[in-house]
Amino acid sequence: MIAQDHVRLMARYNAWQNVSLYREADTLGEAARRLERGAFFSSIHATLSHLIWADKAWMHRFDGTGKPVGGIRESAGLYSDWLVMREDRVRLDAAICDWADRVDENWLSLATTWYSGSQGKDVTRANWLQVVHFFNHQTHHRGQVHAMITAAGGKPDDTDIVFMPNVEAF
């Protein structure tokens, strides 16, 4: 099982990395962000849109926040406006950090059941395992975005968690 400090660390890592990616994606322009680049969700914009959708879905399960519209298929097109998506990402990252600060060992040790659209059935998993998946999913798709931005000429920050500012606080 993971501990609360791990959850807090990963929430802050997620926010740190998103600042870097959105900063660099801002420099590329709309056409470059929407260009088909061969990733699972095709473009930088679509992949970042999917990530917000997925993070909202998990936060709905974890903290009872609003459920995102649509499913995985629709997630890539959730945002038509870049600025709205960027602002929503900042708010969501703040909410994730707030939630991480409130998570306790008891909640992590429990299990939760939810309906999985991708599996087409109810699934029950330990909360700590769901949290590990939540952060792993973010890292997976951010890695895709990092590669797409780099290929487009952007220079996102280092992704090594050991070099995150204030990492010693954990």
- Looking at every residue in the chain, the average pLDDT score rounds to 96
**Per-residue pLDDT averaged across 121-130, rounded?**
98
- Full domain range(s) for residue 9: 4-169
Alpha carbons 78 and 53: distance in angstroms, whole number:
7
With the C-alpha atoms ordered 160, 158, 12, 145, is the resulting torsion angle positive or negative?
A: negative
Question: How many structural domains compose the chain?
Answer: 1
Phi, psi of 41 (to 5 degrees): -100, 20
Q: Is the pLDDT of residue 117 over 90?
A: no
112-138 average pLDDT score: 96
Phi-psi region of 38 (alpha: psi -120 to 50; beta: other; left: phi over 0): left
How would residue 169 be classed by pLDDT, with cut points 50, 70 and 90? confident
Closest CA to 154 of 27, 19, 16: 27
Q: What CATH number should be reported for the domain holding residue 152?
A: 1.20.120.450
Q: What's the pLDDT band for 170 if we cut at 50, 70, 90?
A: confident
Question: What share of the chain has pLDDT > 90, as a percent?
Answer: 96
